[in-house]
Amino acid sequence: MEKKLNTSRRRFVVAASAATAAAFVPTRFAIGAKAPVKIGILLPYSGTYAMLGNSITNAMKMRIEQAGGKLGGRDIEYIGIDSEMSIPKAPINTKKLIGKEKVDFLVGPVHSGIAAAMAKIVGPRDTPIMIVPNAGHNGITGSLCAKNIFRTSFSNWQPAFPGGKVMADDGHKTCVTCAWKYGAGIQMMAAGKENFEKHGGTVIKDLQVPFPKVEFQAFLSEIAALKPDCVFAFFSGGGAIKFVKDYAAAGLKDKIALYGPGFLTEGVSRAQGEAADGIKTTLHYADNLDNAANKKFRADYIKAFGAKPGPNVFSVQGYDTGSLLLQVMEAVGGDTGATDDIIAALEGATISDSPRGVWKMSKNHNPIQDIYLRQAKGGDNLVLGMAHAQLEDPGAGCNL
């Protein structure tokens, strides 16, 4: 369903009208220079990942608005569609944004399965440029990689792999993984397991919960019966709130240490309350990162959108998507027709004012970035140290 994006308390510059654009002389760059840059957005605004989609959208627009609300001197038209986290609807939504709306940039999605469906349509084409502001599907910058697909977030492998070593370093020998049964959960659990076993641990069972179900009782009973030293889990958004609360309510919190990629407590630790306290996770962001860009970003975001859920990794990814768009459109003087130059600018990009710390684009079009060890406390995810500095995804199967 196409939606008017009403996700913020701020007002943002939206589109000059088609009539205005039609008034200009129809050479490619004459139109390109004057007409708005069209940004198609395919993100979830309903269901368990709604908070993620709203956080990304709010912060991307905030970043661009702070820089004057234009890209390469041109106004912007945002065309947003609620992905509804539906893989079957992903091809039609993607084709609508490309074919009917003729967007210059396609920003999305959150969900790994939707990312794969979109990449299969966008990858074989020359345009538009797709920028993934969350979905971690390893293949997007691996076997499905393409010259016009870039990511500002992470691969599923990246935040999960260091978690395996953290659990082993904490002295745990046995582990049960528990995650939603789809690309993100499967790939993150595999990465954590690989590194846990590399450091002497054993995963005794992989529990898989149908996505996006949140009936965790049977899985928690099985964990209690298996008695592992620790649990490594992937859930996010509304599902993560429920899992962490149910885990504590089942009496497991003080018996079996709970770990996971940072999504388990990210943007939701306030809602999880005391049930989240003490949970260690690994992620490319932490609330109290001590850098000027993070302090400014957090203050600005809270001022614009309030403290609930407040700034989080998803809004950081949206913010950095805005920074990247500003950077590359500046580099080409607003000429969206200069595809090769845009791709060159994206490939050479370093985001030096990111709240997560400096990161740069890898040759496979994925951030090379620090992964932090964090611990949830009093509603925040506080940094304990560096889990893996400047981690680059292996990008298996990508030959860019």
The residues that touch ligand BEZ, with contacts defined as CB under 6 A, are: 52, 110-112, 135-137, 184, 236, 263
Q: How far apart, in whole angstroms, are the C-alpha atoms of residue 193 and residue 203?
A: 7
- Quote the Cα angle for 34-37-42, to 5°: 165
Phi-psi domain of 243 (left: phi exceeds 0; alpha: psi -120 through 50; beta: other): alpha
CB nearer to ligand BEZ: pick between 70 and 137: 137
CB nearer to ligand BEZ: pick between 108 and 128: 108
CB nearer to ligand BEZ: pick between 110 and 398: 110
Neighbouring-strand partners of residue 386: 372
Q: Smallest gap, in angstroms, from Cβ of residue 154 to ligand BEZ?
A: 8
Please return the burial class of 281, using the count of CB atoms within 10 Å of its CB with bins 0-12, 13-18 and 19+: buried
- For residue 159, say if its preceding peptide bond is cis, omega within 30 degrees of 0: no
Q: Smallest gap, in angstroms, from Cβ of residue 8 to ligand BEZ?
A: 21
Q: Smallest gap, in angstroms, from Cβ of residue 114 to ligand BEZ?
A: 8
CB nearer to ligand BEZ: pick between 236 and 362: 236
Neighbouring-strand partners of residue 361: 367
Q: Smallest gap, in angstroms, from Cβ of residue 164 to ligand BEZ?
A: 17
CB nearer to ligand BEZ: pick between 135 and 223: 135
SS3 content of the chain, % helix, strand, coil (to 5): 40, 20, 40
Q: Smallest gap, in angstroms, from Cβ of residue 237 to ligand BEZ?
A: 7
Q: How far apart, in whole angstroms, are the C-alpha atoms of residue 189 and residue 177?
A: 6
CB nearer to ligand BEZ: pick between 177 and 327: 177
Structure tokens at 155: 């691969």
Q: Smallest gap, in angstroms, from Cβ of residue 69 to ligand BEZ?
A: 29
